[in-house]
Structure 1
Amino acid sequence: MFGDICLWDVERIEVLRDPQSKLVGRNAIAGTVVVDTKAPAFVQEGTAQIAAGNHDQRRASVMINLPLEADRVAPRLSADRYQRESVTNDDSYQGVSDPGRVKSTSLRGKLLFKAPSDPDRRLLVTGAHVDHRGLNGKIIVRPFANRRSNFPQQLVHEPHTNSLGLEAGIPLADGYRVEISTSYTNFRFRRRAVPNSSNAHISTDEYMVEPRQRYEAADDKSLANSLNLYRARPHEFIEFIAAQNFQDNADTAAA
């Protein structure tokens, strides 16, 4: 499964090796990559970029941060659009006119609320949409000057993701704080291929809730505990050669 990771308006990227389930939840057995996007700020700012290159490569990106109420409400909006042609020469087939066409769209909006009496009381709402289309691989065969693909009717991968997240934090006493993170993700994936070969459809709805408690003492010692609740409902259909198809529906819950 292939997709695109947009690095526009990103604060930092963390690569955590070895099991990370206690920090980021289930299925982080080999490690995790955390892409931390920039949060809204109580300043007026904006930025944009336009880029172009060979193989019909184009990119346009924009970000705007505009506080609605001083030190209380601030939205941040960002968008990134990218497209190009593959370096290989591929053949069209039913349902796919140009396997080598790569397209990606990333939209993200964040809205930050802070209590006027206590800025440590905060609520952050994040919505995001990612839409990608790209071919499976780029391998050429001799003569290399023709840039002919080793598999001219290349598979095309189309992942689509919509997500909504909420983070809240409330200080209750000196050094004591409660927090909650919750999110919903709707994921759709389609693999396009020659009919009756290896087409695939995958869809998943994921829900996550993580309440946390934190305590920080005056001597910089801290204590934290959390509960991770997770549920997913994946549906899969995958074609195999000679009509040996695979279909599966599941309902997974974990804590």
Structure 2
Amino acid sequence: DRRFMSLTQRQKLLKFQRERTLLQKQVEAEDTKRAEMLGALEAAYSEGLLPAQEALNETATALATAQGEYEAAKLKVEELPEEIRQLEAQQSVSKESLDRAKEAALSSYEEGKEAAHAKAEAAKEQLAGALANLTLKEELYQETFANSTDRRPPPACRAEGKGKGGPYAAVDCCCVIQGTPMKVDARFGHWDLCKAAVPWSKTSWSFTGCSLFQECQQCRKVSCGTGVCPGA
């Protein structure tokens, strides 16, 4: 219930919502980039065919002109049939060049199209995963603080020694909250949801570490042996 959230808790909730909106905008941006890439590929495909098509048209025009001249002056020009033969051969070469250009342009277009689709889908999947993770984190955060009652840390998470804040002082801990092993920090104030508590100092060192309020493999190793983690 947001009415019972502190100012800090409401600010964190708003931060999650802003991050989710930003990720959604990034998904839309990836769709726009993919459309622009496809448009550029189609334009390049059309432009790649233009020189070969123009060469074929010029050869056809020259051939038609030569054939007309031959019909009009076949008795006077002995070399004209040979010129026609050469132009016909040139037209055949131009047509083959156009066919190859079409094939190459189409292949490049299809490859670029597939690459653009793959890149866009990969980006969307990555953003969707981040969005799902953020949504889960937000829901867990809301549910945690909405259902919490007892704010005293369990014995394993209490700070030792005098002058440490009394029974409410705590250290960073591993907790299993609603079946999910995760790391909570010393400022966590809703300890009634913390099951199988183990001080974070007793976990094994890792390059990656763990983020707060997210599933943590290091915490799973030390807290899930008690049967509080589903499937553990």
Could you state the TM-score of these two structures normalised by the residue count of structure 2? Answer: 0.21
Greater relative contact order structure (CA < 8 Å, 6+ sep):
2
Looking at secondary structure, tell me which structure has more helix per residue.
2
- Structure label with greater radius of gyration: 2
Give TM-score, length-normalised by structure 1.
0.20
Higher strand share: 1
